[in-house]
């Protein structure tokens, strides 16, 4: 059994490992909003428990057990987010903090039944895949909107930034999950992208375009 804190560390390491193979102390500290010294302490404990592999000064990687535990927490987080949005009418920018707490409730029965109650959803409100009870999920093939060329089209199926400010911005522009878009222009001056959504033209900055994930349905 892991503590609330250990679970948060495992989840953080799991997410960081999606970007870099070896996860560094400083990266964990930044993500967890804590000090590198504290991270080192926790890293030792997790290594002792066999949840991570750790070589001094070389960063960490999750063991099989560690990875499974992390995925289980991610599963809970995302299922709770679906619950909050689908059943309690939260907006997609309001769910993160509450899910951050709910993900630590430890009943297995609870999460199985919640999954069923929600109709075994495959993705959370931000388009992130929900692992099934065995920890399996399809690694979705996304393209960043910024990578599309003029004329390319596709469907918004995810975001790689979960801040409330960003999500509210997208909402205001009508750029929500499932929306069909087409790139109509890329501005020379600042690289901002002009896109067609639901018969409207909207202009988004490069920064925004970087964090919108598209499942491409045809290049031209």
Helix axes 64-82, 108-117, angle to 10 degrees: 40
Residue 56 interacts with, from Mn ion, DNA, its own copies, none (CB under 5-8 Å by kind): DNA
Element (H, E) at 195: strand 193-197
Q: Work out whether the CA dihedral 112, 115, 164, 94 comes out positive or negative.
A: negative
Residue 84 interacts with, from its own copies, Mn ion, DNA, none (CB under 5-8 Å by kind): its own copies
The distance of closest approach from Cβ of residue 84 to its own copies in the complex, given in angstroms and rounded to an integer, is 8
By beta-carbon proximity to its own copies, the closer residue of 110 and 150 is 110
Locate tokens 């910024």: which residue? Answer: 146
Does residue 220 interact with its own copies by CB under 8 A?
no
3-state secondary structure of 15: helix
DSSP state of 130: P
Which residue in the set 96, 131, 145, 157 belongs to the binding site for Mn ion (CB under 5 A)? 96
Q: Quick check: 75 and 135 in contact, CB under 8 A?
A: yes
Site string for its own copies, 35-74 (x = CB under 8 A): ----------------------------------------
Residues of the shown chain interacting with DNA in the complex, contacts defined by CB under 7 A: 3-6, 24-27, 34-45, 54, 56-59
Choose among 177, 175, 168: nearest CA to 209: 175
By beta-carbon proximity to its own copies, the closer residue of 80 and 142 is 80
Does residue 97 interact with its own copies by CB under 8 A?
yes
- DSSP letters along 191-217, please? --EEEEETTEEEEE-HHHHHTEEEEE-
Residue 88 interacts with, from Mn ion, DNA, its own copies, none (CB under 5-8 Å by kind): its own copies
The token duo for 54 is 């750790």
Which CA distances in Å does 157 have to 87, 122, 178? 21, 12, 6
Helix axes 36-48, 25-32, angle to 10 degrees: 110
Does residue 120 interact with its own copies by CB under 8 A?
no
The distance of closest approach from Cβ of residue 22 to its own copies in the complex, given in angstroms and rounded to an integer, is 34
Q: Which residues bind its own copies (CB under 8 A)?
A: 84, 87-90, 94, 97-98, 101-102, 105-107, 109-110, 113-114, 117
Q: Which residues bind Mn ion (CB under 5 A)?
A: 81, 96, 124, 126, 128
């Amino acid at each position: 059994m892991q503590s609330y804190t250990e679970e948060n560390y495992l989840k953080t390491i799991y997410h960081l490992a999606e970007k870099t193979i070896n996860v560094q102390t400083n990266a964990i500290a930044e993500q967890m909003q804590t000090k590198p010294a504290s991270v080192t302490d926790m890293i030792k404990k997790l290594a002792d428990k066999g949840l991570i592999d750790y070589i001094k000064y070389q960063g960490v990687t999750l063991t099989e057990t560690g990875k499974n535990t992390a995925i289980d927490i991610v599963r809970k987080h995302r299922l709770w987010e679906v619950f909050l949005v689908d059943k309690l009418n939260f907006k997609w920018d309001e769910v993160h903090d509450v899910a951050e707490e709910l993900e630590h409730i430890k009943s297995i029965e609870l999460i199985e039944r919640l999954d069923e109650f929600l109709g075994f959803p495959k993705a959370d409100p931000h388009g992130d895949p929900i692992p099934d009870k065995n920890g399996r999920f399809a690694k979705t093939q996304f393209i960043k909107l910024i990578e599309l060329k003029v004329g390319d089209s596709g469907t918004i199926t995810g975001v790689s930034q979960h801040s409330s400010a960003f999500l509210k911005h997208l909402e205001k522009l009508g750029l929500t999950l499932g929306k069909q878009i087409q790139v109509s222009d890329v501005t020379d001056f600042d690289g901002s992208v002009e896109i067609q959504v639901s018969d409207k033209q909207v202009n988004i900055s490069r920064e925004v375009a970087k964090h919108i994930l598209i499942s491409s349905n045809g290049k031209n």
